[in-house]
Amino acid sequence: MATEEPTESLADAGEFTVIDRLIRGRRQPGGVEVGPGDDAAVLAAAEDARTVVTTDMLVAGRHFRLDWSTPHQVGRKAIAQNGADIAAMGARPTAFVVAFGAPPDTPTAHALELTDGMWQEASRIGAGIVGGDLVSAPQWVIGVTALGSLDGRAPVLRSGARSGDIVAVAGELGRSMAGYQLWRNGIEGFDELRRRHLVPQPPYRQGPIAAEAGATAMTDVSDGLLADLGHIADASGVVIDLSTARLAADHDAVAGAAAAVDADPWAWVLGGGEDHALVATFGSAPPPGWRTIGRVLDGTPAVLVDGAAWRGNPGWDSFG
């Protein structure tokens, strides 16, 4: 970045020059027959030729704030939340395509930092950015599509939970919401929590591990634990009963921050989304890396907390 004028904008450079810079020098992982720069990318046949695919859109001011996040952090988050959806099927992310809309006066350097962040997170998973689009938009908007491979496993759906199953989680709960409330209230300190809101750390590898271990249902916590388990309860036709005793570690991890903004830490653990933890049900003991947090019961689909309905905020609605 030392070679370019820091104030050069996307409009100054022009679409094709910017695209050229964004894709130059990136090292694609194996399996990319045709990378960025043509009409479409071509991915080589995997051993398991089924394709897992998911897409998410992130809008500035709604899903990230450029006064809180660096462009690099936004890029990591955009890849992370799509990678988590692939992992939640029991699959391994293999490739991403990204569309980026931004105002013409956006510094070219910021587009490069965003792309660097995307590549960093994709590389952590062993995947690459194989294609993209760059357009003018009134505010930053990022569309990411992730592709994945099941490597011969059956996909783990939301509909397979059965009475008697154990509910378990891999990854963190409540941290992203804690960070969000800290940022929103302008509270310093709690650096790790504030960072977690900007860059979630999904336990990608635990998706395939859970599938191998026979997970009966799985999803990632994007809207909040209760809301996302509600999707499993509905799709599976079961009751899920969570134990607060089993969630004490998450509660304790955010309790100090909750006190600082006078919030209920349980609302964050049970209702806060965007950590992209994985939550799954198992017919037997969950594998290492998973913590038991509840059990599956018969009954009219619902998610209970210690046997009763939770009275706090159940989660995130995009239009709420």
Q: Which two tokens stand for residue 279?
A: 């939550």
- Check whether 63 is labelled as a binding-site residue: yes
* 186 closest CA partner among 59, 313, 64, 68: 68
On whether the CB atoms of residues 51 and 150 are closer than 8 A, the answer is no
Residue 26 near a second copy by CB under 8 A: no
Name which of residues 193 to 232 contact a second copy (CB under 8 A). Answer: 218-220
Residue 137 touches a second copy, criterion: CB under 8 A: yes
216 is in an annotated binding site: no
Six token digits for residue 320: 């709420």
Residues 183, 118, 104: CA angle, nearest 5 degrees? 80
Q: Among 1, 6, 14, 164, which residue sits at the site for a second copy (rule: CB under 8 A)?
A: 14
Contact status: 48 vs a second copy (CB under 8 A): yes
Min dist. Cβ of residue 139 to a second copy (A) = 6
Task: Find the binder of a second copy among 3, 24, 27, 39 (CB under 8 A).
Answer: 39
150 belongs to the binding site for a second copy (CB under 8 A): yes
Cβ pair 242, 225 in contact under 8 A? yes
Residue whose C-alpha is closest to residue 232's, from 247, 208, 216: 216
- 85 among annotated binding-site residues: yes
Q: In this structure, what is the dihedral angle of CA atoms 159, 229, 304, 288, given to the nearest 10 degrees?
A: 100
Both tokens of residue 69? 């996040």
Smallest gap from Cβ 306 to a second copy, in A, equals 25
Would you count residue 66 as binding a second copy (CB under 8 A)? no
Structure tokens at 97: 């395509």
Cα 287 from Cα 310, distance rounded (Å): 28
Binding positions for a second copy, 239-258, rule CB under 8 A: none
Q: Write down the least CB distance from residue 59 to a second copy, Å.
A: 5
Size of the residue set binding a second copy (CB under 8 A): 76
The conformation of residue 173, written as its DSSP 8-state character, comes to S
Q: Give whichever of 79 and 88 is closer to a second copy, judged by the CB atom.
A: 88
Contact 21, 108 (CB under 8 A): yes
Residues 155-184 that bind a second copy (CB under 8 A): 155, 157-159
| C-beta closer to a second copy: residue 142 or 199 | 142
Tokens of 191: 């650096």
Nearer to a second copy, 55 or 163 (CB): 55
Binding residues among 77-96 for a second copy as defined by CB under 8 A: 85-86, 88-89, 91, 95
75 touches a second copy (CB under 8 A): no
| Residue 141 touching a second copy (CB under 8 A) | yes
Which member of 78, 79, 97, 118 binds a second copy (CB under 8 A)?
97
Q: Both ends of the chain: CA-CA distance in Å?
A: 40
Q: Which two tokens stand for residue 43?
A: 């991915």
Choose between 45 and 308: whose C-beta lies nearer to a second copy: 45
Q: Is 48 annotated as a binding residue?
A: no
Sign of CA dihedral 156, 162, 165, 167: positive
